[in-house]
Structure 1
Amino acid sequence: MTTRSGAPDQLRLPLQADLPAGADGFVVSDCNRAAVQALSDWPNLIGGVMAVCGPAGCGKSRLARIWAERTGAMPLDGAEAALADPLELEGRPVLLDRAQEADDETLFHLINLSQSGGGALLLVSRGAPKRWSATLPDLRSRLDAIVTTAMEAPDEAVLAAILKARFAERGIAAPSDVIDYLVYRIDRSAEAAQAVVAALDALHRPVTRALARQVVEANSEMFD
């Protein structure tokens, strides 16, 4: 695949050396460091339930999948978790993404299963469990007691890494001045990074700072 534009400067970003092999490219910075540290050794010894929360595009699902790879957790997603066989979940870690979309009974059973030997439950959602609605009284008390760690929107280092990765997927070696320009002019989310890279790629022209400025200014409502 042909690489467009000039040779870029290599970004020096704080990569986490002890994450699993599947974590290549995951950048640890101030916006996600607390969550990375919270999951680094969990559920060793303590098991139970933990929640990772944060805005859309902050990388919480990616971090959760890295955790699931390390622990061999069973991945479940939202309301579909109700279809899982409890016998397959007992005694093993479970990842529930979009956890707030699961029904009360499913959440209640998953939390109970996490207390068995070898069990653990990682919940991923935008809002903290204590803010979720729950009609089952016993579930309400369990949700309120869940240890929660928050992730923030990508900061400059993480957004730069996301942009580089999206460009690389399309065979584009974006110069460092383009990355620097975009980091401070698009919304800090993986979705905005994906959108601006797609818009630049669609023009089939060398990616320069001038072209990046043209695309951002013409699509300001998309990237703000």
Structure 2
Amino acid sequence: MTQTGSQMALPLAWPADPRADAFIVSPSNAAAVHALEHWGAWPTRAAILTGPRKSGRSLLARIFAAKSGGTILDDADRLPEADVFHAWNRAQETRRPLLIVAEAEPPVWPVKLPDLRSRLAASAHAVIQAPDDALMPQLLARLFERRALDARADLIDWLAARIERSHVAVMRAVDALDQEAMERRKRLSIPFARITLVDAGIIVPPRPSSGSDRSSEEDT
């Protein structure tokens, strides 16, 4: 579905923002943010934005549309190729920037239409990477805040060091902790998180250690 900037009511600031709908910028996505901010330098009037699931690519695209007055083609890899092809051509004709949002670019996105493949190859490509060390705790804190869960800094740091580096894994972890805390009426803590996430298969339990390391394992 194509959406325009005039339909959006979103924050226009790129940096991290305390509001819940702001896009958090870190080294893992800063290059993508920079590319969308400088859309006037694109070689064509269309670009591709790719990133893993739950990475905020649709939110970033909507912020781009609000700032640039451009158009979004979200989940483009699920649309008929002819629709993407015509949208790309229309962007060149109208000089209105088009952001094509997909999970991956060709050839991972298996585009069969040769003319579309060549146009996408000529377009700028902005990539959101997996979350880095800077982003992981910020994502966790944001999700806990949205659910009104009291997660202390030590718990967030503990989780960030143990959860798989993916946006989906972060959401799964917070979902599991939220549900278990609600059902058992428990406060969030490192021991509670360890049991919950090991049982859910989200983190791997620590290996048994020798007696000399036993005290340190109790703190992991």
Distance in 2 between residues matched to 1:197 and 1:24, nearest whole Å:
18
Q: Which amino acid aligns with 2:57?
A: K
Distance 1:66 1:223, change over 3 A: farther
Distance 1:63 1:205, change over 3 A: same
Question: Which residue of the partner structure matches residue 53 of structure 1?
Answer: 50
Question: Which residue of the partner structure matches residue 19 of structure 1?
Answer: 14
Question: Which residue of the partner structure matches residue 103 of structure 1?
Answer: 80
Q: Which amino acid aligns with 1:134?
A: V
Question: Which residue of the partner structure matches residue 178 of structure 2?
Answer: 201
Question: Which residue of the partner structure matches residue 69 of structure 1?
Answer: 66
Q: Which amino acid aligns with 1:29?
A: S
Distance in 2 between residues matched to 1:148 and 1:172, nearest whole Å:
37
Answer yes or no: is 1:154 the counterpart of 2:135.
no
Deviation at 1:177, TM superposition (A): 0.8
Conservation of the 8 A alpha-carbon contact between 2:42 and 2:123: no
Deviation at 1:175, TM superposition (A): 0.5
How does the TM-score come out when normalised to structure 2? Answer: 0.74
Distance in 2 between residues matched to 1:131 and 1:205, nearest whole Å:
44
Larger Rg: 2
Greater RCO, 1 or 2 (C-alpha within 8 Å, sep 6+)? 1
Answer yes or no: is 1:217 the counterpart of 2:194.
no
Deviation at 1:150, TM superposition (A): 1.7
Aligned length in residues = 187
- Which structure 2 segments of 5+ residues have no match? 1-11, 205-220
Q: Which amino acid aligns with 1:141?
A: S
- Which structure 1 segments of 5+ residues have no match? 1-16, 73-92
Q: Which amino acid aligns with 2:158?
A: Y
Conservation of the 8 A alpha-carbon contact between 1:47 and 1:118: no
Conservation of the 8 A alpha-carbon contact between 2:43 and 2:124: no
| Partner residue of 1:36 out of 16, 19, 33 | 33
Distance in 1 between residues matched to 2:144 and 2:108, nearest whole Å:
37
Distance in 1 between residues matched to 2:31 and 2:99, nearest whole Å:
15
Distance in 1 between residues matched to 2:53 and 2:203, nearest whole Å:
14
Answer yes or no: is 1:123 the counterpart of 2:118.
no
Distance in 2 between residues matched to 1:39 and 1:45, nearest whole Å:
9
Distance in 1 between residues matched to 2:124 and 2:42, nearest whole Å:
15
Conservation of the 8 A alpha-carbon contact between 2:81 and 2:111: yes
Superimposed CA distance per residue, residues 181-211 of structure 1 (whole angstroms, 9 cap, x where no aligned partner): 1112112233322222222222221111111
Query: What is the aligned-residue RMSD (CA, Å)?
Result: 2.6
Distance in 1 between residues matched to 2:203 and 2:79, nearest whole Å:
31
Moved more, 194-203 or 120-129: 194-203
